[in-house]
Structure 1
Amino acid sequence: MFSLNNVLYFQAGLGALANIFLLFFYTIIILCHRPKPMDLISCQLTFVHTMMFFTGGNVWLTDLFGSLNIENDFICKATFYINRVMRGLSICITCLLSVVQAIMISPSASLLAKFKHKLKKYIIYALFYFWSFNLSFSSNRIFYVGAYTNVSETSQVKVTKFCSLFPMNHIIRGLILTMTTLRDIFLVGVMLTTSAYMVIILWRHQRQCKHLHSISHLRASPEKRATQTILLLVFFFVVTYWVDFIISSTSVLLWIYNPVILTIQKFMMNAYPTITPLVQISSDNRINITPKNRQKLCH
């Protein structure tokens, strides 16, 4: 278990540093330039993933406050609630990222093209709705998480050294799990649909490029690269999210939190927030800090 914990700490450290760097970068872009629609979404996604590392994964904040003998019932409720909100926002914003990119690369004759001229407005509305929905939907965490006590071992499940989950009515538990599953199935379905649409667009574009001059292909390459990046992120998200969801759903239904299973779940939960900034950093030419790019970034 010691080696597994070391892997978790390394993963959390790498993911947190990458997300903080990317958050700083997108903040500069938004404040100093006219940001693209994708920059607004990517900034939100990076902020969400940064908060996930500080409130989830190893849930080190709760153990830190507990070890310092600080009253941690509020800390347990706050960290678990915020982490649940951030996890919901992660899937919502990733879905939005996929939809917006599908709109941006859609041909002018398609039905999606009419949304291009008001894309920023729609993005702001969508982000406001996602935040409102997840803040209210995850509020049950406030009532069913708290500081661990030794009063009754059977009435609570210890999930960290100082925090535990309290028993939940079977009907309420099933209702929450059903609503969460329906939400996730819908959003993943939208992601897969838009991803298939983008693959078709890229395939058609590739066929057209074979008959055009190489300069035209070069002009289209940044858009193509951005689309491929989002397709890669969607693929990673679908794989890691559903493995995590299956593990967590099984634990909730059976009310079993085995330390090894919990460690695997933490690793899978941190996988997507760790992969995302690394993929974005490697694929965004603006992050190549040359003297020329640095001058553009600050003017």
Structure 2
Amino acid sequence: MSSRHMVIALVFLSQTAIGVLGNFSLLYHYVFLYITGCKLRSTDLIFKHLIVVNSLFILTNGVPRTMIAFGLKYFINDFGCRLILYVYRVGRGMCLGSTCLLSIFQVITISPRNSRLAKLNVQAPKYIGLSIALCWLLFMLVNIIFPLYVIGNKRNVSIRKKKNLGFCSAEIHDKRADSLYAVLLSLPDALCLGLMLWASSSMVSILYRHKQRVQHIHRISLSPRSSPESRATQTILLLLSTYVSFYIFSSILQFYIVLFENYSLWLLNMTSLFAACFPTVSPFVLLGRDSRLSMVTFSCRRNITPPSSIRYM
């Protein structure tokens, strides 16, 4: 094995190990809060699904890439190849969908009482489970074509043109058809990304206006800590910028792979590496701001009533 392949294998192996560790640490945090009697928010159901899809996405991305880098090119058959690629694509979509749902329900929760969104605050938690189920159905249907046109590298078949996907191969069709399908695949992603950007910007705006209203209270406070609104805004912006940066960059690389036949193995590895960055990093972002998690994810409330002027997640 060359040193280059060894480096690639170690990078994917490290990313997989760190990502799984981070998501299971976040899961342990939920279990700990449950055992200690903390009251969790209704949106925790979204976070539980996000932990699951993050783990599935990291494992189906990192493990095959690591084995390929170690020289095991024919370790999987057709069925395994199709299953791994399908779970990978659905996990990628659900990662985006879960983040989108979290942003939407979050902006509903913190909306001022006199706003239109606040009227949905009572009914919204009842539709979280249904919304998650619809997201699963959407991304499972959209990505159903992937298992139909891929085969394992171990199988020797006479295909005139095929595209190397690392541990699988895909038959190359007409460029117009591939371009059309690439656009169709991008529509749900674009919709979710647009909703997430709108919800996140709305949250920042709401928290900023609330900070302006209570600014005189923070001025006379002797505490050097930043206000809850500022901490919430910083966490929202951090998660949003992290997701958007990695997602857009990996999507550009993925779009190039779909449209063009000639691309290097380095480009394929970089696409997979950047695609798994957010599921790997996001648990540590939340755990690193543990004392501020009540602003973005859930609050542990024991005989503590939040201020009536604004409600947080």
Q: Distance in 1 between matches of 2:114 and 2:257?
A: 48
Query: Could you tell me which residue of structure 2 aligns to residue 129 of structure 1?
Result: 134
SS in 2 for 1:109: coil
Query: Could you tell me which residue of structure 2 aligns to residue 266 of structure 1?
Result: 272
SS in 2 for 1:244: helix
Query: Could you tell me which residue of structure 1 aligns to residue 22 of structure 2?
Result: 18
Greater displacement, 52-61 / 94-103: 52-61
SS in 1 for 2:172: coil
SS in 1 for 2:276: helix
Are residues 1:247 and 2:250 paired? no
* Structure 2: runs of 5+ lacking an equivalent: 294-301, 303-313
Within a 5 Å distance, the mapping from 1:42-81 to structure 2 comes to: 42-60=47-65, 72-81=77-86
Query: Could you tell me which residue of structure 1 aligns to residue 235 of structure 2?
Result: 229
Number of aligned residue pairs: give it.
286
Greater displacement, 66-75 / 2-11: 66-75
Q: Distance in 1 between matches of 2:74 and 2:164?
A: 18
Query: Which of 76, 81, 96 is the equivalent residue of 2:101?
Result: 96
Normalised TM-score (structure 1): 0.84
SS in 1 for 2:145: helix
Are residues 1:194 and 2:191 paired? no
SS in 1 for 2:169: strand
> CA, structure 1 residues 189+253, in 2 after alignment: closer, same or farther (shift >3 Å)?
same
* Structure 1: runs of 5+ lacking an equivalent: 288-295
Greater displacement, 38-47 / 221-230: 221-230
Answer whether contact 2:43 2:105 (CA < 8 A) is retained: yes
> CA, structure 1 residues 53+250, in 2 after alignment: closer, same or farther (shift >3 Å)?
same
Normalised TM-score (structure 2): 0.80
Give CA deviations for 1:164-215 in whole Å, capped at 9, x if unaligned.
1222344442232111222222222112212221221122122222222667
Query: Could you tell me which residue of structure 2 aligns to residue 211 of structure 1?
Result: 216
Q: Distance in 1 between matches of 2:182 and 2:149?
A: 14
Query: Could you tell me which residue of structure 2 aligns to residue 38 of structure 1?
Result: 43
Q: Distance in 1 between matches of 2:74 and 2:51?
A: 32
> CA, structure 1 residues 58+253, in 2 after alignment: closer, same or farther (shift >3 Å)?
farther
Greater displacement, 278-287 / 36-45: 278-287
Are residues 1:7 and 2:20 paired? no
Greater displacement, 273-282 / 205-214: 205-214
Q: Larger % of helix: which?
A: 1
Measure how far apart 1:15 and its partner are.
0.9
Measure how far apart 1:242 and its partner are.
1.0
Give CA deviations for 1:113-172 in whole Å, capped at 9, x if unaligned.
011112221211110100111111111111112111454575222222x42122234444
Task: Give the letter for the 2:274 counterpart.
Answer: M
Q: Distance in 2 between matches of 1:25 and 1:200?
A: 30
Query: Could you tell me which residue of structure 1 aligns to residue 299 of structure 2?
Result: none
